[in-house]
Structures are given as structure tokens and as C-alpha cells.
Chain A
Amino acid sequence: MPINVLMPALSPTMTEGKIARWLKAEGDQVKSGQVLCEIETDKATMEVEAVDEGTLAKILVPEGTENVKVNEPIAIIAADGESVSAAASGAPAAAKAAPAAAAPVAAPAVHASPAAVQSADEPDMGETKVMTVREALRDGMAEEMRRDEAVFLMGEEVAEYQGAYKVSQNLLQEFGPRRVVDTPITEQGFAGLAVGAGFMGLKPIVEFMTWNFSMQAIDQIINSAAKTLYMSGGQMGCPIVFRGPNGAASRVAAQHSQCYASWYAHCPGLKVVSPWSAADAKGLIKAAIRDPNPVLILENEILYGTSGPVPVSADYVVPIGKAKIVRPGKDVTITAFSIMVGKALAAAEELAKQGIDAEVIDLRSIRPLDTETIVNSVKKTNRLVSCEEGWPFSGIGSEIGMRMMEECFDWLDAPVKRVHGLDIPLPYAANLEKLALPQAEWIVDAAKSVLYRN
């Protein structure tokens, strides 16, 4: 039986890719381990090795083809002893159909394109350019590094590898190894070292490959970065930024999929922001770098590849502590941050179809929390749903709910409802993972329940 070579999935988030180059031609012998072709994924260009042996009978997808779906047949290999011409003419449909389990590789479908809505509320962004969140973060860092020589970036794989998630692309090339520093895998060490450098007036940006690994360094973040200003009676503080992807990515399981918003927002002496749109990613990273305090930026791997208009002006800075109404509405208020904003907007679309006009607030900043914007919205809608990906216990939703009791209890026509991740470590299995992470439908249900429309 001739063997169909299928378009492989080469990263946790890849759903399609481009055949950049064929390294074998039709008629060539292939042995297992030899490179067949190069494929551009959402993150990098990867070599694809043959797993089967025989003769490359036919190339089904020529080089240069873009958007080739994972599991689509791309070539046919005739096994040793088989007729090459017969194999080449064989229908590729003979490929084993991709099993249903392949589906979860796709990024969450609910994540609507931020570009569609994000310009709704902020008119004076000036001239904009469409770029990804990844590029916006990079540009924000680069602009601040040009502006202030004391700013430097350090972390694992930030320099030569160009960032584990390619956020620091080209920074080494522009700023050199003195200011873009690859570290050993020693989070507590380099986080503490950066805090010390901050005491001396440098302005470190510390990248955690993901926030999960900040737990190695949490003592330095809280006990050293957050408290020294207070303990020294205001003599020395620490103008530092800690940043990296936060929350679940795709199937990376319990130890690599946690939301730290509530953990760090708990601590006085820290500021915590978590952007959703590309414009805010740039505006907030710049604000964080300019801020004289420790600021933590909780980014999101799945959002890195999403695009939106971003102001080109190097003076565009988003103030820390200001939420943003990303969809005005009058019937119910929905608060969210990071990836949950996209899900909240998708939920609002669905609610609109059912005659419910939801107002969606992107918190952007977790600490300080823009209580005023939420309260004003609740005074209008009288109902509130809070969304977050993390766990419910002492979550951001708990804090928001309590503040509503304190500040606008009389305006509420229903108890505040929380949408959050299930109260369990994140399971690996595709079906369980999906059930454990909050979806747009959960938000729709919660909104209807505070409107007593269920």
C-alpha cells in the first residue's frame, strides 16, 4: 500500500501551515529520518522528517502553498517493491481519515478577531497599523529601550533564540547582548538579580518563559520587589517589569496552565495588568516600563498571534488602572480580562441575537482595579457577570463581587455571577480540558441567569 504523507501538526497551536520547500523530488529514495520538506508553522520554519521508507512517488502539494490544513495529504511514498507510477496515480483519499481527536489542536474557536471591535471605544489612537499582539509587545519594548538606556530585557531564550514564543524577535540584533540577556534556567536567581539591579536604578524587564515558572521566583517578586519600598521607608524601590504568557495554552496540562491574576493581585506593592488587544499590549507594556514600581504583565500565548490596529506613535501609553468598555450595552455588564475578553464579546454577540444588550468591560488592569468604571456600568445595567480563566476561590470575581456589595449594592437587581475555570488542576485530555476552561456559552448562561431569563 502506498503511504500518504500528511501535513503534520508541529506545535500545540498549529492548525495549518505553508509548505516552504521540498527537499526531496519525485522519484527520490527516502529513508526514515531524512528531511522531506520544510514547513512554516505559526511560530517557526520546521523540517519534516520521513517516518516511512520507500520512493517519493508524488508530491501532492507544491512548495509555496499556504494554508495547508493539518492532516491533509501532501505526498505519496511508494514502499520498497511497490510500483511508483501506480502509487502516484492512487487516490490520496486512501489516507487514514484524521481521527476525531485531532480537532482539539485548533485554537479555541470562540476567540473572535479583536480587530473587529477593539477600536470601538478609543477614538484618539492616531495613526494605526495592524499588527499582532506579539509584535505590539516587541515594539513597545523596543521603543522604551531606545528611549531609556537603563531598560534591559533578561530571561530564558530571549536573545539568540529570539524568545521561546518569539516575543523578543530582533531585539538582540538591535540592542546587543548587553541589553538582551539570555539567562540560565534559574528563575529565583535572575528574578532576584534583576530586583537588585532595579535598586541601583536600572529598569529590568524580566521575561518568564511562562508565568508558571515564576513560582520558582515568587519569593523575590513578593518579598523583595513588592515590599522593599515600604520596608526602607521609601528610600529604595524597584522599577521592574515581570512579564510572560499566563493561563492555559493548548493541552499543556496542569503544571503549565495556571492563571496568576489572583495570586499576584493579592499583594500590595505590585501592579498587575493583563491586556487583550494588540493596542493595549503595546500601550500597557510601555506604561509598565515607565512606571517606577514593580509591574507584572500577564500575557497570553493564544493571543500572541491575534492582530488589531496599534497606534504607531511612540507616545501612545495606556494608563495603568483604567478599564475599557469594549462593547457598550444597557442590559447586563460583563467584565473580563485577557483571553476572556474575546469570549465575552462572542457571548455578547450571541446575547444580542436573543435580544439582550450586554456591556463588555475589558479590565486591562487587575491591580489597581478600575472599580469606578464597573460601578458606573452596573448603575446603568443593574447586573454583573465577572469572567476569568482562573480558579474561583479568592479569584478576581470574588473581589469584584465584594466591591459591588460595598459600592453599589442598591443598584444590583440580581446577585453578581462568576464565570471561571473549574476548581481543579487543568487536565490534559482534550475533552476534559475543554470542559474545564470557561467558554462563551457559560457567559451567555450566566448573563441570562442574572437577567432571570433562563
Chain B
Amino acid sequence: MAPQPPKKKSKADDVVPNSGDLLKYYRDMLLIRRFEEKAGQMYGMGLIGGFCHLYIGQEAVVVGMQSAITPQDSVITSYRDHGHMLACGMDPGGVMAELTGRIGGLSKGKGGSMHMFSKEKNFYGGHGIVGAQVPLGTGLAFAYKYRGLQNVSLTYMGDGAVNQGQVYESFNMAQLWKLPVIFIIENNRYGMGTSIERASSTTDFFHRGAAHGIPGEAVDGMDVLAVREAGIRAVEHARTKGPIILEMQTYRYRGHSMSDPAKYRQKEEVEKMRTQRDPIENLAKVILEAKHADEAKLKEIDREVKDIASRAAEFAQNSPEPPVEELYTDVLVEAR
């Protein structure tokens, strides 16, 4: 038996989101969706190069988790990172300009889609090597504990990454030293073209900390409110007891990257998720049914976020390429 998740209701559990909160989650998810659609379009125009991994379908995960933490808590993830950055409050123009490789980008155009960071927003990347961010995120938690801070580290990984050896080395140290880290497994059912069943001996990923005594919980990652509730419980656990695992059961609608024809899954499977489980449409239903807002209000939000995405795209196209001097900056810092 795997250790059970903490059952006790925390006081944060009682923080029921109000109309304003719900509209904010709706807006934040829709912003990610429209931003990613725009990025896909710009990739098609040749304005974005290299690899570009879209987050469409998985928006509820980051938006729900972000609602459970404070701005002082940190986030770290893989290359599928645009959604995480927007949820952290990073400037959409800065993210998009990084995608186009311009000086206005968050890494001055030097990192690209997979490698972006914001010290200011406590976003520690954007990592291109599958699984590598997991020990790093554990290290962020180590630093919190070392300094006696109350913060938590949200350490995201994919269902493919969860098989990497360094994940288990991290689990062991995190529990050994009771580090305030939440390991979030974004189970979107595929690592590139390989389904979880073809890559993993067991697919209940929330059990993966069992050997180390780390509790885990499976969460409906298509439901922003379910994510939020689990997130609040997990934050409480991480702050007081140590590491915890949340397996977010989610789905990516698009191919792995822009060049993936996605022949490894049935069209019907994607269609079914899109029509029945879409996190944004389902939250819209909740909002309308309980009369938190009307259609007109939701339309207005859509216009607003579309506008933000368009302006980000415009900024990203107009921002100049980095100057030649940038080639040699930031390799090392000057020792004083």
C-alpha cells in the first residue's frame, strides 16, 4: 500500500473561490490557450524556430496550482513551459519575444522556447533535458529549508520524465531531509510518441514515491478547481511535513512539438478530450450555471486575452534581434 495522502482538512480548504476567483482562473487558462495558438501560428510563419512545445489542453494544471501558492514560492519545469510562465505572471510579450529570439525576450533571445527564466517571478526554467529539472527543484526546496523560509518548490515533470533515475534520487533526498517540495507529474498520457503503457511498468504515478514514504495523490488535471484543492492540501503538507506527489491526469491536444504528426493516437481520442473534458469550456459552464457571470462577460474576457496575445506577437516581431555583443555576455559573471 502506498502511503495515503493527508486526509485532514486544512484551513485553506475552506477558502472557497468566489466569482472573482473563478473568472480569474478562466481568464488565466484562456490567456495560455490563446497565447499558445498564436505561438503555433507564428511557428508556421517561420517566426519561431527550433522546438516549440505547446501546452494546449493542460492549462488547468498550472492555473490551479498557481492559485494555491504565494508569489514567493518557486516553479520549475521542463521545456513545455509557456503556460507555467504566463501563470507565474511573466510578461506575455517577453515570453513571445523569447520565442522569436529577440532582445525583448526574457532571456534576451538567447534561450528560446525551452529555456526561459525569471528570477523576479520565481520561475527557475524552462529545461530541455528530460528529468533534469527534478533535482534542481529539490535543490530550491533545500535552499528554503536551509534559510529557514516557509516557501515551497513546485517541481513539475512529465509522465515520460518520471522514469528517469534522477527523479528517484531526488525523491529519496527530499524525504530524507523533509524538503518543502511538491513533485507535480503532468501525466498527459504520452512522452513524445510513446504512451504511458508502453513506457512504464506501472502507470499509477502518484504511487511512485511509495518506496520513500512520500504520499501521493491522483488529481483530475482537467478540472482547475480539483487541482486547486489538491494544491492547497499539498502546500500545507510540504510546508509542515515534507515532499508530496501530485499526479495530474491531463492531456495535450497538439503534437509533442510542432513537427510531430501524432500518428500514435486516434483522432477520436483527442476529439473526445477536447469536446468532453476541456478545462476551459467546463469552467465556463460552472460559471454560467451558477451565474457567476454571463456569456457577455466571458466574451469580453476572450477579447481581452486575444488582444494580449496579439500584442505579445506584435512586440515579439518588432523587438530587434539581440546585438552581436550578446554573443559573449553571460557566459560567466565577473568575479569581484
Contact = CB atoms under 8 A, between A and B. Distances in A.
Interface string B208-239: 00000000000000000000000000000000
B194 interface: yes
Contacts of B101: 101, 251, 428-432
Interface residues of A, number: 61
A430 B101 CA distance: 7
A449 B318 CA distance: 40
Chain A CB count within 10 A is highest, among B37, B49, B255, for B49
Interface in B113-137: 114-115, 127-131
B50 A10 contact: no
Contacts of A182: 194, 198-199
A182 B196 CA distance: 12
B45 A46 contact: no
Contacts of B324: 431-432, 435
B240 interface: no
A424 B50 contact: no
Given A9-B45, A255-B114, A435-B327, A186 B51 contact: no
Interface in A410-430: 422-425, 427-430
Contact of B109 (A51, A212, A429): A429
Contacts of B37: 32, 51
A420 to B, nearest CB: 14
B264 interface: yes
Given A70-B46, A184-B163, A427-B326, A161 B264 contact: yes
Nearest to A426: B110
Interface string B66-105: 0000000000000000000000000000000010111000
Contacts of B263: 44
A409 interface: no
Provide the main secondary structure of the chain B interface: loop
Given A8-B44, A253-B112, A253-B115, A432 B326 contact: yes
The 9 closest A-B pairs by CB, nearest first: A8-B44, A428-B112, A251-B49, A102-B46, A251-B50, A11-B259, A429-B101, A255-B128, A429-B109
27 contacts: A8-B44, A12-B259, A51-B40, A51-B41, A98-B45, A103-B46, A157-B192, A160-B194, A160-B264, A161-B193, A161-B264, A184-B160, A184-B194, A185-B160, A215-B129, A252-B50, A253-B115, A253-B128, A256-B50, A427-B322, A427-B326, A427-B327, A428-B112, A429-B321, A432-B321, A432-B324, A432-B327
Given A6-B45, A44-B259, A429-B102, 15 more contacts: A9-B43, A43-B259, A101-B101, A184-B200, A185-B161, A185-B191, A212-B129, A215-B129, A251-B49, A253-B112, A253-B128, A425-B331, A428-B109, A429-B109, A435-B324
